[in-house]
Homo-oligomer: A and B are copies of this chain.
Amino acid sequence: VATAYERLTAAAKQDLAGDAVSTALEKLVGLALTFLKTCKRTPLTSNVVGKSYFAFQPPRESGKLSRPVNDNLFSADLTERHLGRVVRGDLSALDAAKRAKVLYSTAMSYCAATDLLKEGDKKTPGTFFECLVGHLVAKSFGVNPKTAIEVLNLDLRTNLPTDYVFDLGAGRNKIHLPIKTSTRERVVQVWAHQRVLDGVYGMNRFRGLLVCLTETNMQRQTLSVVEVCLPDQWVLYQMFISQLHRVYYFDPPAKYASLATRYPFIQVKPFAAFFDEIEVLATAAPLA
């Protein structure tokens, strides 16, 4: 797994949209799923309405538990069957429910496996998730992102480090793609960076697409799961800092999904829906 991870990050640095990344993802996720199939599952108490969770346990007893895994979204078998196409962003053969499952299981595989195989490693699951999402989005738009952009503003000339940004070419939108396994209080950074892009390059120039895995949090003592959501704060950020165009989740929390239907209408959707609106997102147009 460690070698496959190194190959993935090296390939992603070279050419994020490239075939070598697809191959490395297929290998790494395959290994993680194979390992997870040997693991036991501990049911968790769900305090999230309509969702149930388990945690993986290593094959040999060790007291370790993975992060919570959504029971209805995780399917190793289904994912193994479609993995080759999924890591290439080809979801056309799958209906919405299956898309959600294979995407979630693909993303969760390495994260849950790492929880069991390594000690306190929070960094590599985040990097893996960034490679996965970045790869799928880059393949979908047919262009690689940058992680810094030039600022020229009167007497100011500097480079602004950013999350992934995509230039889709003349007459098309530019894309700002922050990626987080979960958000918590750090999420205000996303709106703040979007605002800097709006300020430097003009309003409605960069479409901000935030992609998140989940907002679950496990209480170790009670083996219970909650979703940590701050929808009122998101409303204030969307009203007063900047406007994100989409927020995609691999496992959408209901509290955020419902923001799509009330002012200021933050469009929170399953990540599977991204693949149906690539062209809409790319096309420069006035906001609806």
Contacts and interface: CB of A to CB of B under 8 A. Distances in A.
A228 interface: no
Which of A155, A191, A196 is the most central at the interface, judged by chain B CB atoms within 10 Å of its CB? Answer: A196
Nearest to A192: B192
Interface string A209-223: 000000000000000
Given A158-B232, A232-B158, A237 B188 contact: no
Interface in A144-183: 151, 153, 155-156, 158-161
Size band of the A side of the interface?
20 to 34
Contact of A240 (B189, B199, B263): B199
Interface in A191-246: 191-193, 195-196, 198-200, 232-233, 235-237, 239-241
A236 B195 CA distance: 10
A190 to B, nearest CB: 9
Interface string A126-159: 0000000000000000000000000101011011
Contacts of A199: 236, 239-241
Give this chain's copy count. 2
A186 interface: yes
Interface in A224-282: 232-233, 235-237, 239-241, 263
A149 B189 CA distance: 20
Contacts of A232: 156, 158-160
A200 B156 contact: no
A235 to B, nearest CB: 7
Contacts of A239: 153, 156, 199
B160 A236 contact: yes
Nearest to A237: B196
A198 B195 CA distance: 14
A200 B240 contact: yes
B196 A240 contact: yes
Contacts of A158: 232, 235-236
